[in-house]
Amino acid sequence: DGGITQSPKYLFRKEGQNVTLSCEQNLNHDAMYWYRQDPGQGLRLIYYSQIVNDFQKGDIAEGYSVSREKKESFPLTVTSAQKNPTAFYLCASSTYARYEQYFGPGTRLTVT
Amino acid sequence: AQTVTQSQPEMSVQEAETVTLSCTYDTSESDYYLFWYKQPPSRQMILVIRQEAYKQQNATENRFSVNFQKAAKSFSLKISDSQLGDAAMYFCAYRSLGATTGTASKLTFGTGTRLQVTL
C-alpha cells in the first residue's frame, strides 16, 4: 500500500538535545512538508521541499532543520534552539498534478 | 497573506442529522483551492473534500458537500446523515493556485471545529 510513514509515534527527549523525526513516502510525490500542530491551533508550516536537495522555510522554521537527499525521505531535526518543541508533528506530501496534500500519522514529541 | 477563520470551536449533531461547519477566508487572489480535512482521535489528517475556486459548481463527496460562495469568501461543509465515525476535528485549508513553487505551495489552515456526534 502506498502511503506516508512517520516514526516514532511518540518521542521523549530531554531539553537541550537535538532530535530527528522520520518521514518516508512511497507515493512518488515530488513535494514534502512538515507541519507543527499545537492545541487549539491549526497546522503551521515548518519547512517544505519541492525537489531533492532543495527546501524552503515555512512560517515557523526557527529552531528546525531538514534535509532532502532522497525523493522518498524528508527528515526533520528539532534542535536545542527551538524554544518550545513539545508538539504534534505532521509530515505531508503532494504531487504537482493535484494540489491536495496527504498526511502521515504524525509524531508526538515531548521535551522535558 | 491569506487567513482562514473557523468561528465554531465546537459543534454537535445527532446521528442521522445534518450539520454545517463554517469557514471564511481572506485573500486577494482569484485562483486557489480550498479543502476540508478531518482529524479523528487517531490524529491522522484525512482529506474530505476539495474545491477549485474557478469552478462554480459546489463539490460533493458522498455525504459531504460544500457551499462555496466566492464573493463572500465563504466555504462551509455540510455533512448529511451524520454517523458516529464523523466525530472529529475538521479543518478548513486554503492553497494558492497561482504557482507551484515558493510559498504558494503551502496550506493555510483554520483553527478547526470539533464535531461531536450523539446518539
CB contact under 8 A, A96 and B50: no
CA distance to A76, B8, B17, per residue, from A101 (Å): 18, 24, 29
Let me know if A87 is exposed, middle or buried by CB neighbors in 10 A (0-12, 13-18, 19+).
buried
Task: Give tens-digit pLDDT for A65-102.
Answer: 999 999 999 999 999 888 899 999 999 999 876 678 99
Average pLDDT over residues B31-52: 94
Label residue B117 by pLDDT band (50, 70, 90): very high
- Collect all residues with Cβ–Cβ distance below 8 Å to B81 and sequence separation of at least 6: B16, B17, B18, B63
A55 in B contact zone (CB under 8 Å): no
Helices (runs of H) and strands (runs of E) counted in chain B = 0, 12
Percent of chain A scoring above 70 in pLDDT: 97
Chain B residues near residue A96 by CB distance under 8 angstroms: 100
Average pLDDT over residues A8-33: 93
Chain A residues near residue B109 by CB distance under 8 angstroms: 42-44
Task: Give tens-digit pLDDT for A23-35.
Answer: 999 999 989 999 9
